[in-house]
Amino acid sequence: MKNALFVLAIAFGSMALNAGAQAQNYPWCAYYGGAMSGSSNCGFSTLQQCMANVSGIGGSCVRNNLYVAPNVRHPRRRTDNLIYGDSADDCQSSG
């Protein structure tokens, strides 16, 4: 029984270690304080969010040079077999 619990604990522990944390990936950073001191927060999606955060407390906003945009696949637009009318007569001009 003790061996089974030990194996189970090892299995759950290894699963927890394999689920790695993902770093935040946002395009704007806020820098607080002076140039050589202070802290930063690169957790803003828009410049407006960043500016609202530093408003009143001091700081500046710059683009995150480590930002990598997510790779979003857009569905391909089908251009074949498009039907614009009921028959070929719809394409003829009257007159």
| Domain residue limits at 64 | 23-68
* Each residue's pLDDT tens digit, 68-92: 888 878 777 766 666 666 555 555 5
Residue 75 domain flag? no
Burial 25-36 (b: 16+ CB within 10 A, else e): ebbbbbbeeeee
Q: pTM value? A: 0.50
**Is residue 57 a part of any domain in this protein?**
yes
Is residue 18 one of the residues assigned to a domain? Answer: no
Q: Give the chain's domain count.
A: 1
At residue 81, what are phi and psi to the nearest 5 degrees? 60, 35
Q: Establish if 64 belongs to a structural domain.
A: yes
At 15-70, the pLDDT tens digits run: 555 555 556 689 999 999 866 678 999 999 999 999 999 998 889 999 999 998 88
